[in-house]
Structure 1
Amino acid sequence: MNLRGNHSLENQHPIMYQNIIVMRHGERMDNFVPSWTSTAARPWDPPLTQPGQVRAFQIGQSIRQSLGLPIHRLIVSPFLRCIQTAAELVIALSAVNDVRESDISDNILIDPLKVKVSLEYGLCEMINSIAIRLNVAPKDGNLSFDISELAAMLPAGTVDNNVEMVYKELPKWEESVLQARARYQQTINNLADKYPTQNLLFVTHGEGIEVALSSFKKDVVVDKVQYCGYVQLKRPIFERDHSLIGGKFNVLTHSGQSGVTYVSS
C-alpha cells in the first residue's frame, strides 16, 4: 500500500525519488483557425495545429536533454489534442539516438520499450460549458471516445493495454469546476501511488496543471499556462515493511519556467 506524506518517515532515508511532469496539450486548431469548427465532425475535440505538433516534439526533446532522468510512463487525456501531443512527446523521449534541435519526429527511430503509454479519463478536459463551448458541444452532452482508435494514433508498440483507468468513464455533463479539480487531484495522486518507482508524464488540460501546482505549493494562484506548459513534481519514496510509501511532493517549477506563471495569494 502506498501512502502520501507520511510524517513518521521524515527522518528516514528514501530509497529513491519519483518525478512527475504534468503538462498541458499543445496549440489547438480551433483557437487559431476558427472556421475549422464549421465543418468538423467533432467540433468540441480539435486537433493540434501543425506548429503545435512541432512544439510538442521540441518540448519532448527539451525534457529528455535537461531533466537528467528517464520518463518511464506517459498517461494522457483522451481528447485528440492531448493524444497528438503525447505522440510527439513519446517519439522524442523514446528515440534510439540523442535527438537534435533540428530533428523532426518523422525521421526518428524509437525504442517502444522506453516509454509506455496509457489513456486516462481522469485527465480529461472539464466536462462543462466553461471548457467546452456550448456552440460546439454535443446537444445531448454525450462526449464519446473510441479508445482503441485513439491508441492506434500513438507510436507502434508503446501502448500498455493492461492498464486500468483510475476513472472508468467520463464525468457527466455538466461537471462543476470543483468536481473537476477534485478529479484531477485524485487522478494525479492515484497514478503516482500506482507507479511509485517510475517517473511519469501526464498530458492533460490547463485546469489540470493549475491543480498540480496549487495542490502541492501553498498560497499560489496560477496566472497563465501556455500550450505545452508544465509543472514538475518530485517526492521521496521510502520502504517500510516491504511496502513502498510516498513522501510529500515538492514543486520544482518556478514561476515563469516551463510555460507556467503564478503569483502568491
Structure 2
Amino acid sequence: MAQAGPPAGIVVLRHGRREDSMNPEWQQQARWPWDTPLCATETEIAEAVARMQGNGLTRFDVVYTSPFLRCLETAERILGALGCGDVPVLIHRGLSEVHNPGLLFKAHGRPTMAQRARLWLWRSTYPRHSRPVRERFGVKARLVRESAWPPLPESEFAAAQRYSQVIMQLAAKHAGQQVLVVSHGKAVQVAHEAMGCSGRVLQVSFAGFIACRAKPDRKSRDGGDSSRKGRDGKDASHKGPDGGRRSADGSQAPAVTRIWSGGRSGGGGVTWGSLELDPGMPYFMVDVIQGSSPDMM
C-alpha cells in the first residue's frame, strides 16, 4: 500500500527552447506542426540543471512529462545531465499543452475539420510514433494508461484547472519522494498561483521552473527554524533589505499567502496547501510582479 502524504519535493518545469522559436519555417514543413522538438543549440536546460545541483537537488525519484516531443526531450536532457538514467519516466496526457487553436495551430477562431482530423491522427497513433523517443531513455518511457487528452478547443481557465488537478494527483502518489513534472509554461504559472503565492507570473522562460516542498510539520516548526533551511542545512531564505525572500540570484521571491490552496486534493490528504515554495530555490527563470493578485482562477 502506498504511503500517504505529500512528496518531499516537486519541481514543475517548462520545456526547453523549441525549434520553431529559432526557425519559424519549421512548422510549415512538419507533419505535426504543433509537436515541436527542442532547438539543437538551446542552453537553458543546462542552466536549470545547474541551479538544481547548486541547491543540492541531484536526483529525482520519478519524472512525469507532457506527451509533446519538446517535453520528452527536455526530460531526457535533464536526466542525462544529472546522470540518473534509471529514473522512471511517465507520460501523462493531462500535462499536454493548452488545447487552444491559437497555440496548437497558430490560428484564430475554432479549429477547422482538417485541423481536428490531423490532431486526432497524431493522438490516436501516439503510442506508435512516439516509440523511438520513448526508447531513448534508460528505462523506456511509458504512457499513463488512465490519463486523458484535453478537449479541443480548451479555454485557459479549463487548462489551469486541469494542470492543478493532475499535478496534485501525481504528487499524492509519491509521498516523501522527489518528483519532476515537465510540462508547459501555463503549468508553472498554475503551480505558483495554486499555492497562493503573492504576485503574478508574467512570463515563464524556456526551462523555467518552480520548486515546491512539503510544508514542515508542526513539531519541526515549533522546535526550531528548520523550515527556513535549504537542503544543505543552511539558511536559504535570502532575505532582502525589505524583509522579503529572495532567490539565489537575488531576485525577489514571492511571499506565501495561501489564496486558494485549501482544496483541489490529489488524494491522501495532499493539496496545494500542503506544499510551499522551496526556500533554497523557489523558482528559476520565472518573472513575477509583486503587488498583484492572481486573476487566473
Scaled by the length of structure 2, what TM-score is found? 0.68
Are 2:22 and 1:32 equivalent residues in the alignment? Answer: yes
Q: Could you say which residue in structure 2 is the equivalent of 1:184?
A: 163
For 1:128, the aligned partner's letter is N
Give yes or no for contact 1:74–1:117 (8 Å, CA) kept in 2: yes
Aligned residues: 229
1:131 to 103, 107, 113: 103
2:188 is aligned, of 209, 221, 224, to 209
Q: Note if 1:112 corresponds to 2:93.
A: no
Q: 1:81 to 1:116 in 2, by over 3 A?
A: same
Quote the Cα distance in structure 2 between the aligned partners of 1:158 and 1:169.
23
1:83 has 2:54 as partner: no
Give how far 1:66 is off.
Answer: 2.6
Where structure 2 has 5 or more consecutive residues not aligned to the other structure, the ranges are 218-266, 293-297
Give the structure-1-normalised TM-score. 0.75
Distance 2:156 2:103 in 1: 10
**Partner-residue secondary structure (3-state), 2:41:** helix
Q: 1:57 to 1:158 in 2, by over 3 A?
A: farther
| In 2: Cα distance, 1:75 partner to 1:199 partner | 11
User: What amino acid sits opposite 2:80 in the alignment?
Assistant: I
**Among 145, 153, 170, the residue aligned to 2:133:** 153
Which of residues 40, 50, 55 is equivalent to 1:50?
40
Whether 1:121 and 2:107 are equivalent positions in the alignment is no
CA positional deviation for 1:135: 4.3
Whichever residue aligns with residue 178 of structure 1, its letter is F
Matched AA of 1:24: R
Q: Distance in 2 between matches of 1:255 and 1:197?
A: 19
Work out the CA distance in 1 between the residues paired with 2:165 and 2:138: 28
Q: Return the offset for 1:132.
A: 1.9
Could you tell which deviates more after superposition, 75-84 or 134-143?
A: 134-143
Matched with 1:140 is: 116
Distance 1:41 1:211, change over 3 A: same
Query: For the structure 1 residues 173 and 88, does the alpha-carbon distance in structure 2 shift closer, same or farther, using more than 3 Å as the test?
Result: same
Equivalent AA in structure 2 for residue 159 of structure 1: K
2:160 counterpart SS class: helix
Q: Which one-letter code corresponds to 1:195 in the other structure? A: H
Residue 21 of structure 1 deviates from its aligned partner by: 0.4
> Per the alignment, do residues 150 and 58 of structure 1 end up closer, same or farther by CA in structure 2, a change over 3 Å counting?
farther
> Can you list the C-alpha shifts for 1:197-225, whole angstroms capped at 9, x where unaligned?
21101110011000010000334210111
**2:274 maps to which residue?**
248
Contact 2:210 2:282 in 1 (8 A): no
The DSSP-based 3-state class of the residue aligned with 2:213 is strand
Shift of 1:169: 2.1
